[in-house]
Amino acid sequence: MIKKILLALTFFTMSAVAYAQQTLVPAEFLDQWEKPQALNADTKWVIFTSTKEAGKWVKETLETMQVEDMAAKQWLYVADISGMPSLITKFMAIPKMQDYKFPIALEREGDITQAWPKQEDAVNVYKMDGLTIQKVYALTSEPEVVEFFKTMN
């Protein structure tokens, strides 16, 4: 029994380390204004959402913090919209996003972010060093997002 517990703990620890040390591939996305947004070695924080609710938390937090220049902070906000029907994306979601003051790197196909570590229904934030993820944070409520974003520098 103890051997099974130790084996499970070892596996859990290796899984956490594998996520924390995952290296991402440099990538370029287009934002809601069709301008390029790059994931590169200069990126210090990646904010990643794949659900409408998580995206709402990020939007409201960034607006409250009056963040407009994500590149100056070395942040990249990536929203996976690949599961959204194309008509809704084209005629509703993107026009609405164009009213935001900050860029959103739009993952339209889901290929680039497919292997990224993520918890569903959460804002996933990666602390980066170069292109290597040092730590993964899964924020599961808007107050948690607000408090965490205040600590990012």
Q: Determine the 3-state secondary structure of 80 from DSSP.
A: strand
pLDDT tier for residue 20 given thresholds of 50, 70 and 90:
low
Domain ranges for the chain, please list them. Answer: 2-151
pTM of the model: 0.86
Residue type at 21 in one-letter notation: Q
Q: Which two tokens stand for residue 125?
A: 């934030």
Distance from chain centroid for Cα 119: 11
**Crossing angle of the two packed helices 142-151 and 52-64, in degrees rounded to 10:** 50
**How are beta strands 45-49 and 123-129 bridged, if at all?**
antiparallel
Select the more confidently predicted residue: 25 or 18.
25
Residue type at 42 in one-letter notation: D
Q: What kind and span of H or E run contains 135?
A: strand 132-139
> Quick check: 122 and 54 in contact, CB under 8 A?
yes
CATH pick for 2-151 out of 3.40.50.1780, 3.20.20.70, 3.40.30.10, 3.40.50.1980: 3.40.30.10
pLDDT (tens digit, 9 = 90+) per residue, 49-102?
999 999 999 999 999 999 999 999 999 999 999 999 999 999 999 999 999 999
